[in-house]
Structure 1
């Protein structure tokens, strides 16, 4: 090839192909998609403000009805509200995580029994679930076998017997 052709191909590769490899362009939108207008600076500010408010609210452990309105029901005045802090109205048992955290502070000798309790609780839950699954499976197999027996006996009764 001539030097001019080689230089032209190298120039085209760098100008078009290499640019597409390094920074690929996105696929065009389908024809049914309507393009949205660009937001004004004021609208961008309002979106950023709302997003930052929601982000800051998400860092709180109990995020409240602003972010999850479906989780919070309307309570009457006589009923207890879940977010209210009442001193002696309700005694709560510590959760497993809180129990482990307290045990971890006490050192290895307090952590070991707490971990054993967790493992035994999980093992018993697993064993119970497995037992109930096996019982349900046996019942299902028994029902299927009864249906087969019933359909087999009905088929014999319904079919005409040949006389020889």
Structure 2
């Protein structure tokens, strides 16, 4: 009799508890949750085409107005008052574009480009550090002047004892 009970408990453990430990079931949905309807095959194909087109367009720097018309409408509505718009040809190439062009040329062209990037970065850090030190020294000087002013006021207010 006891062996039968032990076997039944072991069987129930493997069947229910072990399965729940290894593969836990998710919590049930709340009662107010509405289940989404399944998409038809035409809708699935449309979603797949749209996702593939957006993914392919994401590899291009400027994906154009056909994929994001809302962004381009805002740009057209906010024209500059002068009517002067910058063209992409008139812009100065960014650091990333410079590095990309240099990387295509090989190590000989990449090394000077990287040195330029590091030197500009070091110069900006140096300038920032200099301005921070200068501001810090000015702040310390102002605090020291306030302390000296408060000491002279205290000395002037309190009469000294004659000796």
Q: What CA distance in whole angstroms lies between the structure 1 residues aligned with 2:149 and 2:41?
A: 71
Q: Which residue of 1 aligns with 2:2?
A: 2
Residues 1:45 and 2:43 aligned together: yes
Q: What CA distance in whole angstroms lies between the structure 2 residues aligned with 1:44 and 1:144?
A: 74
CA RMSD of aligned residues (A): 4.4
Work out whether residues 75 and 81 of structure 1, in 8 Å CA contact, stay in contact via their aligned partners in 2: no
Q: Whose helix fraction is larger, Structure 1's or Structure 2's? A: 2
Q: Which residue of 1 aligns with 2:103?
A: 104
Match of 2:83 among 69, 76, 79: 79
SS in 2 for 1:41: coil
Provide the aligned length of Structure 1 versus Structure 2.
152
TM-score, length-normalised on structure 2? 0.61
Deviation at 1:114, TM superposition (A): 1.6
TM-score, length-normalised on structure 1? 0.61
Greater mean deviation of Cα atoms: 58-67 or 8-17:
58-67
Q: What CA distance in whole angstroms lies between the structure 2 residues aligned with 1:134 and 1:71?
A: 47
* 1:11-34 deviations in Å (ceiling 9; x for gaps): 1121112211222122455x6x83
Greater mean deviation of Cα atoms: 45-54 or 122-131:
45-54
Q: Which residue of 2 aligns with 1:122?
A: 121
Instruction: Say if 1:139 and 1:68 are closer, same or farther in 2 by CA, change over 3 A.
Output: farther
Structure 1 segments unaligned to the other structure (5+ residues): 157-164
